[in-house]
Amino acid sequence: MLGGVLSLFIRATLLYGGFGDIWDAAERGNRLNFFKLDIDPRIRSSTWTHLIGGAVGGCYSACCNQVTVQRYLSCDSVRSSRIAVWLQWIPSTILLILCVANGLVLYAYYEGCDPVLSGLVTKSDQTIPRLALELFRDMPGMAGMFVSAAFSGTLSSVSSGVNSLSALALEDFVLRFFPTMPKRKKMLCSKLLSVLFGAVIMGIAYLVSTISTHIFQINIVVASISSPILGTFTMGLFMPWINSWGALSGVTGGTAFSIWIAIASSYQATFPATSETLPISTDNCTVNFAHNLTTMSSIGNYADLTTISQISTIPEEERSVLGDTLYSLSPFLYGTCGFLVSIFLGHVASFLTGFNKISEANPDLFVPFISCKLFRFGIPKTTLVDRGDEEETKTVQHINAGYLNNENDHEVSNSNEAKCEETIF
């Protein structure tokens, strides 16, 4: 995956004679808005919406995602898993920077001739593959390498997800009703569940390919569902007074709230800046695209742009309060809203059903938000020991024991020699 993205960037940079011309094109199109410090949460893309939304999404991916947690558990100790967490940020950051750079390359290459409006592609998700085909047109094998890189990245994520779903279904549903299932049957059941989930994922992928949904919209839906799970983990780790009813109400209510906002905002958002898109044009397109430009009424993305234009011209007297506020939130904040709502509903449900007694909390299942006495709420420190530290302690003990044994043997040997000398002489 990293090789495919990097090859695309290198090829485009060489074609333009350096990254300077690409940067200039992005400046002309007002694409370098990385530091838009407007605090209005209704602005679609600003520094704050990306930082807050990215932080919540990153916490879920790194801390609560079953695919990630399953990999942490494969480490031999907590220390090793922590090292793995920090090390994975290096390739992730490099890949993120390359993706942003390729986005600038994409705009510079199609500056003045948008591939969607010109009819080169029917969906914006197809622009990067189209760019790869054009950049590697005179380099046999490179386009295939890019496609294989994209497929390899997809397959690795899908395989991890399928295995995680299989393990979860087996542990939480099958073994709950058949706790004494033999090991061989467990293995067979796990494989059958993997085949089942794989078939379901392939069916969903086919359905997605037939609709005009963008990858961005799919990611928004995923974030809306996943962030309440992060809220439940947060309550379980840092808030020992939350009971099981609070956790269940929080994750259910937070998910419903996030999905409600995501769906309603698609039709009811009336604040112009929420649906504002940067200008694109087809002024520099060649004559070959003239026929395509006359048939744009059949392309879904063009209809979406028309809808956005209509939203921005809605008179103020026709706007609703929710349409100008809640429904007009930046899509990057949907997950954050679900996270906060899940924690709020968790407290409400726990209050109505009775908070857990902090004095009865299990210290092994509690983590203070800040390592100090104030945030421990009277809960003693955990009695668990990291396996890595435990093994190290055992090793030191064994070494010390061996050293003491050697010392004792040496002393016994010296005493025996002294006795022999006394006997002889």
| Domain count of the fold of the chain | 2
223 and 298 housed in the same domain: yes
| Assigned domain for 389 exists | yes
| Assigned domain for 182 exists | no
Nearest in space to 301 (alpha carbons), one of 123, 126, 44, 131: 123
396 and 275 housed in the same domain: no
233 and 319 housed in the same domain: yes
| Assigned domain for 224 exists | yes
Residues in the chain with pLDDT values less than 50 = 287-312, 392-404, 406-407, 410, 412-413, 416-425
pTM for the full predicted model: 0.73
| Assigned domain for 277 exists | yes
pLDDT at 377 (0 to 100)? 75
First-residue to last-residue Cα distance in the chain: 83
pLDDT at 397 (0 to 100)? 46
352 and 404 housed in the same domain: no
| Assigned domain for 14 exists | no
102/259 Cα distance (integer angstroms): 31
Q: Hey, what are 97's tokens? A: 């920077």
| Assigned domain for 63 exists | no
- pLDDT digits over 116-163, tens only? 888 888 878 788 888 888 888 888 888 888 888 888 877 877 888 888
337 and 380 housed in the same domain: no
pLDDT at 311 (0 to 100)? 42
**What is the radius of gyration, based on Cα positions, of the chain?**
30
113/289 Cα distance (integer angstroms): 9
Nearest in space to 165 (alpha carbons), one of 186, 194, 187: 194
- pLDDT digits over 312-357, tens only? 455 555 567 777 788 888 888 888 999 999 999 999 999 999 998 8
Structural domain boundaries enclosing 393: 368-408
304 and 403 housed in the same domain: no
pLDDT at 231 (0 to 100)? 92
| Assigned domain for 372 exists | yes
325 and 397 housed in the same domain: no
